[in-house]
Chain A
Amino acid sequence: DADVTQTPRNRITKTGKRIMLECSQTKGHDRMYWYRQDPGLGLRLIYYSFDVKDINKGEISDGYSVSRQAQAKFSLSLESAIPNQTALYFCATSGAGTGGYEQYFGPGTRLTVT
């Protein structure tokens, strides 16, 4: 089984709809991240959480919110989706051990907003 899972894997939604992307991990890591990937722009950090009570904005947090329901679960919400939020979204985790630098990624969620 995958260590970092994301649901759904693909989603098409309409402008103005609320949508939630979910991430779960079995690695026992305390740190979790949400990124979006756009062609030619690499991955950009949306939000990150170093533990259940610690939530931080990344470089492109506008239009997004997150919830850390438990150490193993980190959800990303788009309150009112817009077409330029069409992208590939990745969840990642890292642990404080081994320097905490390595991040482990889920398989991604492809979101299309029409």
Chain B
Amino acid sequence: GNSVTQMEGPVTLSEEAFLTINCTYTATGYPSLFWYVQYPGEGLQLLLKATKADDKGSNKGFEATYRKETTSFHLEKGSVQVSDSAVYFCALVKAAGNKLTFGGGTRVLVKP
């Protein structure tokens, strides 16, 4: 079956630091890949997506590149802010069925 593995948190870093959250997946075929973000007390919001190999998704200074050869979709941001403190989920969906498979989530805490 499909699965998503992402690094466990919490990840604690200072403002303006570089953030990387690793995500790898197992799936047959060519899934679409997503990063969702959950701010405290809120539901999940789509942060970015990539639908085919070598696509780069980007939003709010975050980027992730769909790497078919390494089955990875690592999330990066060059300079984090306190407002980026949240839980980040990597997820995939296959072309048929439209059911998301989520990783376990990574909590990120950015300190001033």
- Kindly identify, within residues 77 to 98 of chain A, every residue whose CB is under 8 Å from any CB belonging to chain B: 90, 92, 94
User: Hey, what's the 0/1 contact readout for B40-80 against A, CB within 8 Å counting as 1?
Assistant: 01111110010100000000000000000000000000000
**Most chain B beta carbons < 10 A, residue from A31, A102, A104:** A102
A12 contacts B by Cβ under 8 Å = no
Total A-B Cβ pairs within 8 A: 54
> Is B49 a contact partner of A101 (Cβ separation < 8 A)?
yes
Which residues in B have their C-beta under 8 angstroms from that of A41?
A: 104
User: Hey, what's the 0/1 contact readout for A38-53 against B, CB within 8 Å counting as 1?
Assistant: 0011111100101000
> Is A108 a contact partner of B100 (Cβ separation < 8 A)?
no
Q: How large is the interface on A (under 10, 10 to 19, 20 to 34, 35 or more residues)?
A: 20 to 34
Given contacts A99-B32, A107-B43, contact A31 B98 (CB under 8 A): yes
- Kindly identify, within residues 33 to 82 of chain A, every residue whose CB is under 8 Å from any CB belonging to chain B: 33, 40-45, 48, 50, 58
> Is B105 a contact partner of A103 (Cβ separation < 8 A)?
no
Given contacts A48-B99, A99-B32, A99-B51, contact A40 B43 (CB under 8 A): no
**Interface of B toward A, CB cutoff 8 Å:** 4, 8, 32, 34, 36, 41-46, 49, 51, 89, 93, 98-100, 102-105
**Interface of A toward B, CB cutoff 8 Å:** 4, 31, 33, 40-45, 48, 50, 58, 90, 92, 94, 99-108
